[in-house]
Amino acid sequence: MASDKNGTVIVATPAWEGHSSALGASLAHMAEKYLVRIVQSPITQVELVNDAVRRAVIRELEEWDDAKDDRALTIVCATPDAPDALEQFDELCEALKIRTDRLKFAAIDQETAIALSEVCHIKDISKFHFSSVMTPKVPGSIQELADLVARREEEKELCLVFEPAETSGFLAKKLVANGQRVIRMGFYKYRPQNLAVLPPTDVQKWWVVLNDSDSVLPVAQGLKRQAVNFSNVYWIGSRPSIGLALKKILPKAEFVEVSELRPDIILDKIQNHIRPVAT
Q: Please give, one letter per residue, the 3-state secondary structure of the chain.
A: CCCCCCCEEEECCCEECCCCCHHHHHHHHHHHHHCCEEEECCCEEEEECCHHHHHHHHHHHHHHCCCCCCCCEEEEECCCCHHHHHHHCHHHHHHHHCCHHHEEEEECCHHHHHHHHHHHHHCCCCCCCHHHCECCCCCCCHHHHHHHHHHCCCCCCEEEEEEECCCCCHHHHHHHHCCCEEEEEEEEEEEECCCCCCCCCCCCCEEEECCCHHHHHHHHHHHHHCCCCHHHEEEEECCHHHHHHHHHHCCCCEEEECCCCCHHHHHHHHHHHHCCCCC
Query: What pLDDT is stored for residue 279 in this prediction?
Result: 45
**Whole-angstrom distance, CA of residue 92 vs CA of residue 90:** 5
Lowest mean pLDDT among 13-17, 209-213, 271-275: 271-275
**Whole-angstrom distance, CA of residue 159 vs CA of residue 77:** 10
Q: Is residue 250 very low, low, confident or very high in pLDDT (cuts 50, 70, 90)?
A: very high
Q: 214-224, pLDDT tens digit by residue?
A: 999 999 999 99
Whether residue 37 is predicted with pLDDT greater than 70 in this model: the reply is yes
**Whole-angstrom distance, CA of residue 215 vs CA of residue 209:** 10
Contact partners, residue 46, CB within 8 Å, separation at least 6: 14, 15, 16, 17, 81, 84, 85, 188, 189, 190
Q: 102-122, pLDDT tens digit by residue?
A: 999 999 999 999 999 999 999
Give the alpha-carbon dihedral of 98, 135, 161, 126, to 10 degrees: 10
- Domain architecture of the chain: domains with CATH: 8-43+193-274 (3.40.50.10090), 48-190 (3.40.50.10090)
**Whether pTM exceeds 0.85:** yes
Query: What pLDDT is stored for residue 19 in this prediction?
Result: 85
Query: What pLDDT is stored for residue 95 in this prediction?
Result: 97
Percent of the chain whose pLDDT exceeds 90: 87
Q: Is residue 278 very low, low, confident or very high in pLDDT (cuts 50, 70, 90)?
A: very low
Contact partners, residue 230, CB within 8 Å, separation at least 6: 220, 223, 224, 250, 252, 253
Parallel, antiparallel, or unpaired for β 206-209 and 181-192? unpaired
Mean pLDDT estimate for the chain: 93
Mean pLDDT of 35-50: 96
Q: 135-181, pLDDT tens digit by residue?
A: 999 999 999 999 999 998 887 899 999 999 998 889 999 999 988 99
- Whether 245 and 45 have beta carbons less than 8 Å apart is answered as no
Whether residue 274 is predicted with pLDDT greater than 80 in this model: the reply is no
Query: What pLDDT is stored for residue 2 in this prediction?
Result: 57
